[in-house]
Amino acid sequence: MKKLLMIAAFGTFMFAGVTGEGHHADHWSYSGNMGPQHWGDIDPKFRMCALGVNQSPIDMDRFVDAKLPKLKITYAGIAKEVVYNGHTIKVTTLGKNEVVIDGKPFMLMQFHFHTPSENKIAGKQFPMEAHFVHKSKDGEYLVIALMFKEGRKNSALQKVLNDLSTEVGKKRMLREMFNPGDFFPRKLDYYRYDGSFTTPPCTEGVRWIVLKNPVEASKEQIAMMHEIMHDNSRPVQPLKARVILK
């Protein structure tokens, strides 16, 4: 059932939406007095949500041309289990799914979704975004962000939807396990920037890779995802002194 996916692409350089998905849904929210503008006050552990200077997501509109190294992705594992955790629809993975950035290997831990997209590209927001969350042995994080646009039915996404429970916290094994790389577009050109988790605790020091080319999902599939997750996107954060490499 294992499948080897070897991907090489040019471009420079990305955890959990990125994510503090371990917290229960009632600890923070996307609206009201527990919404993003209040995250930094909810818990001292979340103070970076208010005080951080390299926060995510962002509107990528300040680009610098860079000679980016090849992006090497070797996914030889599977997407295994799906759960709606009250914040996002998350899929856990199994096996060796590795990305090498800056000469350092990062292992895929999980991927999850946001409707609409959190990051924007030159002001454009997409109807959905997936975050593939990776971690290195020394505890550093990298996220690959993938945008979705309306179009043809997405077969990998449908395998997730087929076994998804709308009950918060109810995990289900995927009957049709698949390689996580099945989501990726053929061309892996990307943008790179330094950012943070997009959910509490908003930890900084996260490498972000945002793929330039979106993939398609049907209007019905995106609507189903949104019906469960609702609007679960943190507003874009100030770019400050950062630039986006392309």
Query: Which listed residue (87, 112, 114, 131) is catalytic?
Result: 87
CA dihedral 46, 48, 51, 57 (to 10 degrees): -110
Angle between helices 219-229 and 155-163 (to 10 degrees): 40
In 136-230, the DSSP E strands lie at 141-150, 172-178, 190-196, 204-211, 215-217
Nearest to 114 by CA among 133, 101, 97: 133
In angstroms, the Cα distances linking 158 to 148, 155, 182, 218, 233 are: 14, 5, 12, 10, 22
Could you confirm whether 87 is annotated as catalytic? yes
Which residue bears the tokens 């076994």? 163
Is 40 within 8 Å of 190 (Cβ atoms)?
no
Q: How far apart are CA 133 and CA 3, in angstroms?
A: 20
Written as six digits, the tokens of 207 are 């490498």
The residues, ordered by sequence, that sit 6+ positions from 44 with a Cβ below 8 Å of its Cβ are none
By annotation, the residues acting in catalysis are 87
